[in-house]
Amino acid sequence: MALTASLRMVLAAPHRAGYPFIAAGAAVTFVGILVSAWLFWLGLGFTLFSLYFFRDPERVTPKRPHLAVAPADGHVCSIMLASPPLELGIGIEPRFRVAIFLSVIDVHVNRIPAAGQVTRIAYHAGTFVSANLDKASDENERNAVALRLPDGRDLAVVQIAGLIARRILCDIREGDQVFTGQRFGIIRFGSRTDLYLPPGVVPLVELGQTMIGGETVIADLSQALT
């Protein structure tokens, strides 16, 4: 059963962002058949890598209300109190930030952590230091999304470019109503995703814990309301 689940994840259909890379690799592979063996293997290797990197498996999101789920696959590299990006306009009060580092072998499709309305999307140009460093949240290129929960509170999810990542894609727009676990973007070739919880909400995850985007529960959003 576990082997079947693993195969389904590895062999999942690719995200549309990977189509140009897969097509380029297939073209090089085809030319290699006609020209040379080394070009064939180079093209085939790149094609297989692209299929793996851009895989977009289905996820089973918990149905219980008031949960915030992981916005990305990877492992928790930082849990700390921090102010959300100023460009989002949701205040400077420190709140828990859970940072997820995505290695090159992780699924890179980002998912909505909790249902709500997109109130602000803000892109910030920056550097490309290693995404597992705390300073990456402030210094690296990023795309920040603010979500207004049905109860009026705000949370934020930030796509952050890594050391070799050079492309952040975001498919949602300001004003969109989104649901928990919904795909909303992808970061190419290594990255980090930060989740800023509403003030007073404490994360349920631990440093180093492995995250499954759209499935792993990060916090119970109702805890600060009781």
Residue 76 makes CB contacts below 8 A (sequence gap 6+) with 98, 99, 100, 101, 205, 206, 207, 208, 209, 211
Structure tokens at 188: 């190419």
3-state secondary structure string across 163-207: CCCCCEEECCCCCCEECCCCEEEEECCCEEEEEECCCCCCCCCCC
Question: 3-state DSSP call for residue 83?
Answer: coil
Give the residue numbers annotated as catalytic, written as ranges: 191
Q: Rounded to whole angstroms, how far apart are CA atoms 204 and 145?
A: 22
Structure-token match 């389904």, residue found: 8
Residue 193 makes CB contacts below 8 A (sequence gap 6+) with 71, 72, 74, 99, 100, 102, 110, 157, 158, 159, 160, 187
186 neighbors 192 (Cβ within 8 angstroms): no
| 23 sits in which H/E element | helix 19-35
Question: 3-state DSSP call for residue 116?
Answer: strand
